[in-house]
Amino acid sequence: EAQVTQNPRYLITVTGKKLTVTCSQNMNHEYMSWYRQDPGLGLRQIYYSMNVEVTDKGDVPEGYKVSRKEKRNFPLILESPSPNQTSLYFCASSLARGNTEAFFGQGTRLTVV
């Protein structure tokens, strides 16, 4: 089954404790991205990757890092989480840059206290 898998689904952590949210897709997609979803603000792009070892900032990259060492994986790293990073996070993949059909993961609800 074609899918994007994120882990964990839920996470509560404390300010400053480094965490990683994993994302994996099994569709051999080139393009992957991370979004955060906040009430009233919709989905905003954090980082994206056009292929292995090619990543770039989206609209709200501050406080986040990503890596793309393999085509299937695109982890999101919060080196020092803060309460304003409490949000619902989605990983998405699509066949290539500019492709309108993005496949989203189930989401990771992160709470930073």
Partner 1 sequence: GESVGLHLPTLSVQEGDNSIINCAYSNSASDYFIWYKQESGKGPQFIIDIRSNMDKRQGQRVTVLLNKTVKHLSLQIAATQPGDSAVYFCAENIRGAQKLVFGQGTRLTINP
Residues that bind partner 1 (CB under 8 A): 4, 31, 33, 35, 40-45, 48, 50, 56, 58-59, 90, 92, 97-98, 100-107
Alpha-carbon distance of 69 to 111, in angstroms, equals 27
- Is 11 or 50 the residue whose CB approaches partner 1 more closely? 50
Q: How far is the CB of 90 from partner 1 (least distance, A)?
A: 5
- Is 14 or 87 the residue whose CB approaches partner 1 more closely? 87
- Is 17 or 48 the residue whose CB approaches partner 1 more closely? 48
